[in-house]
Amino acid sequence: MREEIITIGAEALVGEVAKLKVQGFRLVTLSCTEIDETSVDLLYHFDKDLVLKHLRLTALKGLSVPSISPVFFAALLVENEIQDFFGLRFDGLVVDYRGTLYLEQEAVKTPYCRFSLRNSDQANPPTETAAGMENP
């Protein structure tokens, strides 16, 4: 089995994915890992005849990434999952659950990020004491 990792920018992502599809590659999955408080690494995994190609995209958490779901429809599930668990947004998703594919509205957002981007209301959530009263 051979592997190749290609670093790519967001502006070239959809075009490169479309080229891989035309060449007969199939989408295996996407992986996401947090790098630091501002960025994540996205790895797009493709396979054809036991040849693996990976596209690596480093994305800033506050910016959107183009969705590849218009090219590979099945990508909508893993892209929505990454939105739920990492807080990254994908532009052009064919079906966008807006962060609620797996997590309900009141759930903790971005549970897989050590460095979360939170608003001030979420930074200090109230906690319950033994007597059932809330601590501010």
- Residue 123's pLDDT band, with cuts at 50, 70 and 90, is very low
* The pLDDT of residue 128: 45
CA 98/CA 81 separation, integer angstroms = 10
* The pLDDT of residue 84: 82
* The pLDDT of residue 134: 46
* The pLDDT of residue 73: 96
CA 122/CA 109 separation, integer angstroms = 10
For each of the domains in the chain, give its residue range(s) and CATH number, in order of start. 2-112 (3.30.460.80)
- Residue 120's pLDDT band, with cuts at 50, 70 and 90, is very low
Greater model confidence, 122 or 98: 98
What is the residue-wise DSSP string for 113-136? -SS----HHHHS--EE-TTSPEE-
Asked if residues 121 and 106 have their Cβ atoms less than 8 Å apart, the reply is no
- Residue 97's pLDDT band, with cuts at 50, 70 and 90, is confident
Angle CA 35–50–93, to nearest 5:
50
CA 129/CA 115 separation, integer angstroms = 27
Residue 131 has pLDDT above 50, yes or no: no
pLDDT tens, position by position, 33-76:
999 988 999 999 999 999 999 999 999 988 999 999 999 999 99
* The pLDDT of residue 68: 98
